[in-house]
Chains A and B, each alone.
Chain A
Amino acid sequence: MLKVDAIDKGIVLDHIKANHSPQVFHYLGLADMDCPVAIMRRVKSNKLGVKDIIKISDKIDIDLKVLGYLDPDITVNIIEDGKTIEKKKLELPEEIVNVEKCKNPRCITSVEQEIDHIFRLADREKRIYRCIYCDSAAPKR
Chain B
Amino acid sequence: MKHLIDPTDLTLNEIDDILALAERIISDRPAYAEVAKGKKLATLFFEPSTRTRLSFEAAMLELGGSVIGFSSADSSSTAKGESVADTARTVEKYADIIAMRHPKEGAPLVASMNVDIPVINAGDGGHLHPTQTLTDLLTIKETTGRLSDLTIGFCGDLKFGRTVHSLIKQLSRYENIRFILISPQELQIPDYIKDEVLIKQHKDFREVERMEEVIGELDILYMTRVQKERFFNEADYIRLKDSYILDMEKLKNAKQDLKILHPLPRVNEISVEVDKDPRALYFAQAEYGKFVRMALMMRLLHLAEPQGKGEGTC
Q: A: which residues have CB within 8 A of B?
A: 104, 106-112, 114-115, 131-135
A interface majority secondary structure? loop
Which one, B101-109, B228-236, B275-283, is touching chain A? B101-109
Interface 1/0s, chain B 122-134, versus A by CB < 8 A? 0011110000000
Asked whether B77 is an interface residue with its Cβ less than 8 Å from the other chain, the reply is no
Q: Measured between alpha carbons, how far is A108 from B102 in the docked complex, in Å?
A: 9
B126 touches A108 (CB 8 A): no
B contacts, CB < 8 Å to A = 83-85, 102-107, 109-110, 124-127
Option from A108, A112, A114 in Cβ contact (under 8 Å) with B105:
A108
Q: Which of B105, B107, B110 has the most CB of A within 10 A?
A: B105
State A141–B104 Cα separation when bound (angstroms).
26
Contact of B83 among A110, A112, A131, A134 (CB under 8 A): A112
| Given A112-B84, A114-B83, A135-B127, residue A107 in contact with residue B109 (CB < 8 A) | no
Q: How far is the CB of B167 from chain A (nearest CB, A)?
A: 17
Please give me the residue from chain B that is nearest to A122 by CB atom.
Answer: B196
Known: A114-B83, A134-B127. A106 touches B104 (CB 8 A): yes
**Interface core residue of B105, B106, B110, B127 (most chain A CB under 10 Å):** B106
The answer to whether B126 touches A106 (Cβ under 8 A) is: yes
Q: How far is the CA of A106 from the CA of B105 in the complex (A)?
A: 6
A131 to B105: give the CA distance in the assembly, Å: 10
Given the contacts A106-B104, A108-B102, A108-B104, A132 and B83 also touching, CB distance less than 8 Å: no
Which chain B residue has the least Cβ–Cβ distance from A114?
B83
Q: Are B106 and A107 in contact (CB under 8 A)?
A: yes
Q: Which residues of B contact A135 (CB under 8 A)?
A: 105, 127
Chain B neighbourhood of A132, CB < 8 A: 106, 109
